[in-house]
């Protein structure tokens, strides 16, 4: 492969091939380590054994089933977390007094390791899906909240002056100015929240697991089936990437006006 | 270039493993340092180790122990990888690990009775396994000793998982039962029933060990240490069994010795801790301390096969041995 060919490829394919090459090199390095290092399969399985385990988990339906459970918790947790974070964030952005009252609690809440309180949430909320959704929502809440506050506060004063001069109602200011103007920053928080939501669901499932990818992780560990642990971990990574991709697509869709500008 | 890289990496790995591996007692009076994965937090149930150390049994055997209170499965992996020589594990872990090719062998049966019980609120009148039919049962998860113990109990009673409703609740059995969210839970014989009664909740208890004999908690060793340093295995097992024997003979003394090994022990309810120790001793007693009952291993294998956790029978003679006990 000569240099010109690489340059043409990079130009034509927007350098996507670099990602593929990086992935292949990573897999090759992983394979070589497992092949020549002497590390046992139960400590670091080879890519081939993980692939074989993935096919088995797909064919017996277990991976699809448990992924569906975790995904439903993630989606619900995301929706709840985003909804609360947006409403509270907007309130805090508009009211310094409210911010003074609530911010110590909000900041303190971020210092609490969610792993430590997850068992308590299970006791308080029961061991059904609710506790997992709440844990997920708690993790999603903060990044979305912060970006909502920053986004709303970043709306230029001139736009408010313009709307006021047009005698716009509060609702019109919200939907015509504040919402679109704060969207770019808001989506930044959403990207972080979407990827973190995966961790939230897993933390909940690790506390009282009987289904979901967290359960598969624990089962794999209990049975010393390390390839299964890797399959569950890679599925979680795929879920996080998928959610990140969806947010990016939404961002492109809703921020088309920004690209034109 | 790659060959050179692999050789350097291997060389470093070998050097590191040499640093971390055992130095057998070399006659110079140096103690062999052993990091011991315990599988649980500091607890009065580890009294035999605390006593054996306090009375110098391990020191006399040329061993210095450092407790490592990590998860049981992590301990098994470390033993399997040859990073540590021993770990404390439950019987089912030995077969599950061997089924995945981990080179480990069980060398001492510490518990003679499988330490799991089904605990129910007294008003339900649950006294035998058949009474569990149709009941919702809370347990930490669909894995681990609690799950295996429950399945063994159901298996012995010719019942299946479909006869009950299992509810994974994490390690919150006592709190959820006290809060009225669970009526029947699975827990450790020397823990949950005692904790619940101490909170004034009357409970009945079905001990798995009253119905089926299963390979229980004991000492796991790596095949590597068994092959390369059997004297160390014998010395370690011997020192432990002396501690075990002393605890059974004098629980009060063991209780006092254990105090300093358990953080915040003075804050714990002393009566509850004494009951935990007494109940544990009940499960340790036997004519020949440390002896592994072949039938208990057969039973454990059958239960794991029934559960689908292992798929084929294995050579149990390679899974455990009575070679190192006196």
pLDDT at position A9 over 80: no
Q: How far apart are CA B146 and CA B133, in angstroms?
A: 18
pLDDT category of residue B296 using cuts at 50, 70 and 90:
very high
pLDDT at position B4 over 50: no
- For chain A, the domains span 3-39, 48-260
Inter-chain CB proximity A224 and B97 less than 8 Å: yes
Q: How far apart are CA B97 and CA B95, in angstroms?
A: 5
pLDDT at position A56 over 60: yes
- Among chain B residues, CA nearest to A226: B100
Average pLDDT over residues B42-71: 96
pLDDT at position B22 over 80: no
Range with the poorest average pLDDT among B19-33, B81-95, B189-203, B243-257 = B19-33
Burial readout A66-98 (b: 16 or more C-beta within 10 A, e: otherwise): bbebbbebbebbbebbbebbbebbbebbeeeee
pLDDT at A120: 86
Average pLDDT over residues B220-243: 97
Is the distance from CB of A39 to CB of A97 less than 8 angstroms?
A: no
Residue B21's φ and ψ, nearest 5 degrees, are -80, 175
Average confidence score pLDDT of chain B:
90
Q: How far apart are CA B54 and CA B56, in angstroms?
A: 5
Q: Is the ipTM of this complex over 0.85?
A: no
Q: What is the pLDDT of residues B95-107, one digit of tens each?
A: 999 999 999 999 9
pLDDT at A1: 47
| Residue partners of A198: CB distance under 8 A and separation at least 6 | A70, A74, A236, A239, A240, A243
pLDDT at position A24 over 60: yes
pLDDT at B11: 42
Inter-chain CB proximity A209 and B142 less than 8 Å: yes
Residue A56's CB is within 10 A of a number of other CB atoms, namely 14
Q: How far apart are CA B214 and CA B127, in angstroms?
A: 20
pLDDT at B141: 87
Q: How far apart are CA A82 and CA A98, in angstroms?
A: 19
| pLDDT > 70 in chain B, percent | 91
Q: Which of B77, B100, B143 sits opposite A219 (nearest CB)?
A: B143
Residue A38's CB is within 10 A of a number of other CB atoms, namely 11
| Residue partners of B296: CB distance under 8 A and separation at least 6 | B91, B109, B213, B214, B215, B216
pLDDT at A260: 59
Domains along the sequence of chain B with CATH: 14-113+215-318 (3.40.190.10), 116-210 (3.40.190.10)
pLDDT at position B283 over 70: yes
Alpha-carbon gap: A113 to the closest alpha carbon of chain B (Å): 18
Residue A63's CB is within 10 A of a number of other CB atoms, namely 21
pLDDT at position B10 over 70: no
Inter-chain CB proximity B181 and A209 less than 8 Å: no
| pLDDT > 90 in chain A, percent | 59
pLDDT at position B25 over 80: no
pLDDT at B12: 44
Inter-chain CB proximity B142 and A42 less than 8 Å: no
Average pLDDT over residues B83-87: 96
Q: Between A129-153 and A96-111, two packed helices, what is the crossing angle to 10 degrees? A: 130
pLDDT category of residue A128 using cuts at 50, 70 and 90:
confident
pLDDT at position B16 over 50: no
Q: What is the pLDDT of residues A148-186, one digit of tens each?
A: 999 999 899 999 999 999 998 989 999 999 988 999 999
Q: Which residues of B touch A (CB under 8 A)?
A: 2, 6, 9-10, 13, 73, 76-77, 80-81, 96-97, 99-102, 138, 140-144, 166-172, 175-176, 179, 181, 309
pLDDT at position B217 over 50: yes
pLDDT at B243: 98
Average pLDDT over residues B177-186: 93
pLDDT at B20: 40
Is the distance from CB of A143 to CB of A78 less than 8 angstroms?
A: no
- Report in angstroms the alpha-carbon separations of B107 from A52, A137, B20, B87, B217: 34, 47, 22, 10, 11
- Among chain A residues, CA nearest to B170: A208
**Domain A48-260 = CATH 3.40.50.740:** no
Q: Which residues of A touch B (CB under 8 A)?
A: 32, 36-38, 40-43, 119, 122-123, 126-127, 207-210, 215, 218-219, 221-226
Q: How far apart are CA B190 and CA B272, in angstroms?
A: 10
Q: What is the pLDDT of residues B232-251, one digit of tens each?
A: 999 999 999 999 999 999 99
């Amino acid at each position: 492969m000569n240099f010109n060919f690489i340059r043409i490829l990079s130009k034509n394919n927007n350098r996507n091939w670099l990602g593929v090459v990086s992935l292949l090199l990573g897999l090759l390095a992983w394979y070589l380590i497992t092949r020549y290092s002497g590390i046992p399969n139960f400590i670091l399985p080879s890519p081939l054994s993980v692939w074989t385990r993935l096919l088995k988990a797909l064919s017996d339906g277990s991976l699809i089933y448990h992924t569906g459970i975790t995904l439903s918790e993630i989606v619900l947790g995301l929706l709840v977390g985003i909804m609360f974070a947006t409403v509270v964030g907007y309130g805090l952005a508009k009211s310094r007094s409210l911010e003074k009252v609530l911010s110590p609690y909000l900041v303190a809440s971020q210092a609490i390791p969610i792993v430590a309180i997850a068992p308590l949430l299970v006791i308080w909320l029961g061991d059904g899906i609710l506790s997992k959704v709440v844990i997920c929502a708690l993790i999603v809440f903060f990044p979305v909240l912060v970006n909502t506050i920053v986004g709303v506060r970043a709306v230029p004063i001139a736009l408010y002056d313009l709307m006021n001069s047009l005698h716009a109602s509060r609702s019109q200011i919200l939907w015509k100015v504040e919402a679109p103007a704060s969207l770019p920053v808001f989506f930044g928080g959403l990207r972080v929240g979407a990827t973190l939501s995966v961790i939230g669901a897993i933390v909940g499932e690790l506390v009282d697991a009987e289904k979901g990818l967290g359960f598969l992780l624990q089962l794999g560990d209990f049975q010393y089936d390390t390839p299964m642990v890797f399959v569950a971990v890679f599925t979680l990574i795929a879920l996080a990437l998928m959610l990140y991709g969806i947010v990016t697509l939404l961002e492109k869709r809703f921020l088309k006006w920004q690209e034109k500008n | 270039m790659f060959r050179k890289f692999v050789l350097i990496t291997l060389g470093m790995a070998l050097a590191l493993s040499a640093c971390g591996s055992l130095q057998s007692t070399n006659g110079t009076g140096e103690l062999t340092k052993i990091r011991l994965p315990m599988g649980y937090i500091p607890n009065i149930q580890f009294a035999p180790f605390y006593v054996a150390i306090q009375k110098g049994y391990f020191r006399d055997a040329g061993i210095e122990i450092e407790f490592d209170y990590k998860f049981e499965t992590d301990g098994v992996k470390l033993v399997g990888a040859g990073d540590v020589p021993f770990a404390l594990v439950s019987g089912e872990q030995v077969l599950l690990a061997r089924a995945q090719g981990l080179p480990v062998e069980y060398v001492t049966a510490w518990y003679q009775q499988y330490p799991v019980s089904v605990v129910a609120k007294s008003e339900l009148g649950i006294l035998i396994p058949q009474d569990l039919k149709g009941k919702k049962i809370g347990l930490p998860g669909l894995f681990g000793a609690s799950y295996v113990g429950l399945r063994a109990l159901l298996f012995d009673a010719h019942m299946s998982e479909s006869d009950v409703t299992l509810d994974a609740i994490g390690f919150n059995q006592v709190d959820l039962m006290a809060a009225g969210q669970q009526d029947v839970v699975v827990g450790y014989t020397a823990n949950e029933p005692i904790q619940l009664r101490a909170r004034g909740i009357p409970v009945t208890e079905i001990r798995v060990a009253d119905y089926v004999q299963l390979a229980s908690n004991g000492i796991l060793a790596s095949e590597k240490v068994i092959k390369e340093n059997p004297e160390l295995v014998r010395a370690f097992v011997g020192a432990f069994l002396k501690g075990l024997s002393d605890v059974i003979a004098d629980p009060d003394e063991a209780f006092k010795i254990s105090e300093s090994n358990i953080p915040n022990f003075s804050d714990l309810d002393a009566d509850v801790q004494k009951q935990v120790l007494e109940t544990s001793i009940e499960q340790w007693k036997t004519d020949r301390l440390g002896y592994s009952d072949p039938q208990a291993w057969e039973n454990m294998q059958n239960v794991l096969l029934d559960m689908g956790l292992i798929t084929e029978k294995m050579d149990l003679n390679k899974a455990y041995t009575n070679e190192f006990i006196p």
